Chains A and B, each alone.
Chain A
Amino acid sequence: MSLIDSLPRRKAFSSEVDAGSREENASEHKSGAPFRSHRNGNSSSAPKLPKVDGLIPWIVPLAIVLVWQLACVTGFVPSRVLPAPTDVALAGWKLLLSGELIRNIWVSFWRASIGFVIGGGIGFAFGLANGLSQLSAKLTDTTLQMVRNIPHLALIPLVILWFGIDESAKLFLVALGVFFPIYLNTLHGIRTVDPQLIEMGRIYGMTDGELFRRVIFPGALPSIFVGLRFALGIMWLTLIVAETIAASSGLGYMAMQAREFMLIDVVVLSILIYALLGKLADSASRALERLTLSWHPAFQKK
């Protein structure tokens, strides 16, 4: 019976492959002679597109800033509720000159990175271990899944009792928050590497090391990147919360201090800087993704 059990799986897979290759066949036919002139016709107008493409994502943010400025200037929104973008920019300029802004950004950036490296590193290591070793998975996976279901921000009171408002409190929270998306996606990536490719690698005499380097790791990479981007989001979220509750420096602390003195422009400024830093982290991970996944059909530009 077990052969028959195993057959439908293989069949199901091969039919997927089949469908995929037929699609590609279809696209090849399209690029055949009768359509070529049509394609060329399109590509002649293509060079203009990239510049416009690069600007399109910024239209909405710019429009929002513009409407915001208008609303503030006309007095539709009182400046006690929301300062005008120009006021925020001015506050930013002042803080930049005093060096306070750079210092706080640097402190937050440093915390985020160190926490990310620690938590991501441990998560990646566990993901690898549990993906590659049944024993390791049996030993630790259940425990990790239980811990995962505790919202890590719920630990803040405990963390403050343990570490006070020391650096280690923030690093601990960030590391904990980052750990799970990296762990889960690394594990998932390794588990879902095509077993047929692994068999192929073994047939062609790959050692365990080669098999990992040439088949398993590249196969898990798209999933690892998904985890990375999730983790980056959680990293900023955790840091903001931790810094607003218990810190004596950093962007969150700057915002809380400003609230004490009713400096609403600084509060808005720190929120905007968080948005910017988050976007930067995301862009960096996407650039890395494009670089390492250039083989992936989703990243191939025609």
Chain B
Amino acid sequence: MQEALRFQPVDAEPVDHADIVVKARHLRRVAEGAARGLSLTIRGLRKAFGDNEVLRGIDLHIPAGQFVAIVGRSGCGKSTLLRLIAGLDAPTAGSIAFGEEPRAQDVRVMFQEPRLLPWARVLSNVEVGLGRQRSSADAQARAERALVEVGLGDKRGQWPSVLSGGQKQRVALARALVSQPRVLAFDEPLGALDALTRISMQQLLERVWRDQGFTAILVTHDVAEAVALADRVLVIEGGRIAEDVTIDLPRPRRRGSAELAALEGEILKHLLEGSEDTSDL
């Protein structure tokens, strides 16, 4: 149980066992000709809003295809980090470099809110995700495939307003997936869902990630979700990476297993201890 949990110093070279596993999985995918994730290197990243410095120097390397979860208390800067990675905001200082220069459709974001166009049917909402490729001949076929992949093939002609919260979020996932992104950033995508829908969505996220092999970055406040899904959990505190935990458990992981619970407990303990030191949060 303890073997699974290894805390690394923040700036250590990230090559370790989990990395090799990820790479091996990628080699297999490349051999199969599937889409491949992009690696990501962040150096000295800072972000300030006025006088308030939210990120105070992040150094991070994410290997291609890794599933990284970012946890932390609210206001710790985890969502800001995600927005910087996704290119929604510009950093105050530092750099974010991808393994290759990504095209516009290579990096996609999924938010806590589905952000569907209420006046567009489900299928055209998914087509929005194709970006500039919308006008291509196979756009509709690709959108349909993405809908089938999230299990909503029969809802293509519905208005978003008749879908349940979980279904809306699955449409948003299909929209993010339809351009076959190489980096997919999730900003608490399951935060607004009820417990059961949340678990099935977690399974869906894991499945599409394994199928498509994109690099996944998941911001969540739910530590159980982080350890269940991620190869690696980053704990952010006061704008810095406080812990970098490798989760080296076989998949699919069984919810409620002792290993997961132990990991969750460890990380929660760090989070709670950290919060006592940083009374300014």
Instruction: Give the B-binding residues of A (Cβ under 8 A).
Output: 1-4, 6-7, 13-14, 17-18, 21-22, 24-25, 28, 194, 196-197, 199-201, 203-206, 214-215, 218-219, 221, 293-297, 300
Contacts and interface: CB of A to CB of B under 8 A. Distances in A.
A18 to B, nearest CB: 4
A203 B109 contact: yes
Contacts of B212: none
Interface residues of B, number: 39
Contacts of B159: 294-295, 300
24 contacts: A1-B49, A1-B52, A2-B52, A3-B75, A4-B75, A14-B113, A17-B192, A21-B164, A24-B164, A25-B165, A25-B194, A196-B111, A196-B113, A201-B128, A203-B108, A204-B175, A205-B105, A215-B117, A218-B119, A218-B120, A293-B119, A295-B160, A295-B161, A300-B161
Contact of A14 (B117, B120, B168, B192): B192
Contacts of B74: 7
A91 to B, nearest CB: 48
Contacts of B109: 203
Interface in B5-31: none
A219 B175 CA distance: 20
Task: Say what secondary structure dominates the interface of chain A.
Answer: helix
Contacts, number: 91
B129 interface: yes
A18 B113 CA distance: 8
Given A1-B49, A1-B51, A4-B52, A200 B115 contact: yes
A21 B192 contact: yes
Considering residues B50, B51, B80, B118, which has the most beta carbons from chain A within 10 angstroms of its beta carbon? Answer: B118
B165 A21 contact: yes
B104 interface: yes
Contact of B115 (A25, A196, A219, A300): A196
Contacts of A200: 111, 115, 128
Task: Say what secondary structure dominates the interface of chain B.
Answer: loop
B164 A204 contact: no
B162 interface: yes
Given A3-B49, A17-B192, A21-B192, A214 B164 contact: no
B251 interface: no
A22 B165 contact: yes
Given A3-B54, A24-B165, A196-B111, A204 B75 contact: no
A205 B192 contact: no
A203 B88 contact: yes
A6 B118 CA distance: 24
> Can you list the 10 inter-chain pairs with the closest CB atoms, starting with the nearest?
A21-B165, A2-B49, A205-B131, A218-B119, A295-B119, A200-B115, A18-B192, A297-B161, A3-B49, A295-B159
Nearest to B75: A4
Given A17-B192, A203-B86, 13 more contacts: A1-B50, A2-B52, A3-B54, A18-B192, A21-B164, A196-B113, A214-B117, A214-B120, A218-B117, A219-B119, A295-B120, A296-B118, A296-B119
A189 B118 CA distance: 15
A17 B113 contact: yes
Contacts of A204: 128-129, 131, 175
